Structure 1
């Protein structure tokens, strides 16, 4: 079995035939707390191991390593338009392109990786959507950027990959208050937890924003990063264990 064959890649029928993948941590070269396919250049993992992992991802996407583009993600609603590969890691949380061969890569460890495609127009996108970016409109901004490149919103399929589920996402009153200040109807994405805390439904909220924005199709793969340690990295799980750092999953799409 080749290194690439050992990878586990989740896909969504809604995005086919566009090549894409939500990669799990399986099949990577990293060890220790990063064991598996850690693709986070910002982690404290050995740079050589991260480079090997990213090369395996590029190979799985049938692309050269230099074609894989990731961002300096800052929990914003900023979107960049790419017409050529870059290793500069633009400061943004989403990107779109019509250029074949560019592999758009989003790094996550509980936040939502969202892949977009309008197959008819030949426009794709990828977004990093944590609670802050989703609240601030990164998903809508990605749809708008795709439209400017010729996509039709009604033809865009958007798929949320592995992310933290409501049963694992405990938040406090201040967190809830930020959403209530936006719209009291958002209370539907919170249920009561223990000790006056709440449980937040991040993928449910992401789907709501996508559907309200008019995406032609929106779905979540249903995978929880926190609950499935064997397949996914999780920032929150690492925090609960007081570990020094955590790996980053990668989700990719290309024309």
Structure 2
């Protein structure tokens, strides 16, 4: 179910403190929209002990605040919360899933950073919204995504993105223009004063994760998750 999971105490000095849980799922759970999604969400809820709020993601920079139990699915590419008893989910199949938390403040966030999301800096918008909720010491986890050695794009598109985020410049392993979205996200987080851990894995190269570039329309979706336990 989980390719990665990390537990961070809300207060390292308190033995009975709650914990922030961060996880990335793998191909064993298919989180794309469809008839089976409800059952998969139920399995996640049973495993984590909380329901997860999800998004209708459209490659933008809109950030929504979750202030109640999951209900209608909003159109946005990031969400934040300071609410106990609900988790946040971001779903991907090559784009960069970014999970954020301020364990001391109990403020959580997730962002979907594809090519367009990196270009419009959805990650910084998410950090800003978390700070509006009281976050002061945000840290991030950059999840598995298609790497710069594999994410081939036309030269004109690379130039467009690099003009906004120079750190995304890359070449494929076969010498053609590419984008390194993970490097772009890392640079944006650093500029926002947010330390980041990188969870390794190229979705195109590693069948542990779904990949739209590898599998096309049949590709599933995996998720970055964060919740308070």
TM-score (norm 1): 0.80
Aligned to 2:68: 84
Aligned to 1:55: 42
The partner residue of 1:8 within 2, 5, 24 is 2
Per residue, is there more strand in 1 or in 2?
A: 2
1:157 paired with 2:122, answer: no
Quick one: distance in 1 between partners of 2:117 and 2:204? Answer: 20
Alignment of 1:1-255 (within 5 A): 7-12=1-6, 17-26=19-28, 37-41=29-33, 47=35, 49-63=36-50, 67-152=51-136, 155-182=137-164, 186=166, 189-191=169-171, 194=174, 197-215=176-194, 217-229=195-207, 231-239=208-216, 244-255=217-228
Unaligned runs of 5+ residues in structure 2 are: 11-18
RMSD across aligned positions (CA): 2.0
Tell me how many residue pairs correspond in the alignment. Answer: 220
Give, in angstroms, the shift of residue 13 of structure 1: 6.3
Per residue, is there more helix in 1 or in 2?
A: 1
Change in 2 beyond 3 A, CA 1:188/1:235: closer
Aligned to 1:31: none
Give, in angstroms, the shift of residue 179 of structure 1: 2.3
Quick one: distance in 2 between partners of 1:148 and 1:88? Answer: 23
- Is the 8 Å Cα contact of residues 12 and 159 (structure 1) preserved in structure 2? no
Give, in angstroms, the shift of residue 182 of structure 1: 2.6
Give, in angstroms, the shift of residue 18 of structure 1: 0.6
Quick one: distance in 1 between partners of 2:222 and 2:7? Answer: 21
TM-score (norm 2): 0.89
Quick one: distance in 1 between partners of 2:9 and 2:26? Answer: 18
